[in-house]
Amino acid sequence: MNNQLKGLIYFYMVDIRHSLKVFWIILLSILMVSIAFGYYIKAIDGGMMTFSLTGPIYIYCSIVAFISVREYIPFAIKMGATRKNIFISIGIFFLLLSAVKAIVASLLQELVLFLITRIGIDGFYFLHLAHFIDDTWYIRIGMDIMTIFFAMSFMFMLGLIFYRYGFFGGGITLGIVGVMFLFGIATGWIVDFIAEIISHLDMLFFIQLFAVGIFFYFLSFFILKRMTIVKMR
């Protein structure tokens, strides 16, 4: 790995450090409140409380990918980085962020479940798609890495479209996606498709999702290589 790639990846990691701290402080605070609330409703009427660590992580990483277009690419171009190195470095950054987030989330879930079991809280549960397959820590990590990378690749591609072609181009893209989605709902194939996925959910689906994410990311290079520091309105 050349020095320019290392410098770019280091810049991305340093830049995201503050938002990561804020994100985890907020998420952990909500988690603690949820655990306390779960203990309360369990003691009162035998109810239960559920919480999702991965939902907020997916949203956070998607936002990071979208804003990375206007935050990272113009700066890297000004610093003289080649489009190829920018493309490779952002891809590595996405994979690293996906892996770190997935590992931390899975370990945190295991730690919280261990602690609340020790103190006698049994009305609190984590929500995760791994429940449909095999809810083990390595399955969760694999699923999360592939899902996060897909989400980041899609949002990065969308961010490039907005940056390169302005609100007009981005609006047309979102409009086409919206029309296709509404058409799918009206004809029923989206509902059938989702039902089919849920009923036959396995790791193959997430591997395919990851492959689509890689395709989106490689496709984004054709927009990235024509980008300048001038943002379209």
pLDDT truncated to tens, each residue of the chain (233 aa)?
A: 678 888 899 999 999 999 999 999 999 999 988 888 777 766 566 667 788 888 999 999 999 999 999 888 888 888 888 889 999 999 999 999 999 999 999 999 889 888 888 877 777 788 888 877 877 888 889 999 999 999 999 999 999 988 887 777 777 877 787 787 777 677 766 777 676 677 777 788 889 999 999 999 999 998 888 776 655 55
Phi, then psi, of 231 in degrees rounded to 5:
-85, 135
User: What is the value of pTM for the model shown?
Assistant: 0.88
Q: Output the DSSP codes for 138-157.
A: HHHHHHHHHHHHHHHHHHHH
CA nearest to 216, candidates 153, 158, 163, 126: 153
**229 contacts 74 by C-beta, under 8 angstroms:** yes
Using an 8 Å Cβ cutoff, are 86 and 8 in contact? yes
Other CB atoms within 10 Å distance of the CB of residue 233? 6
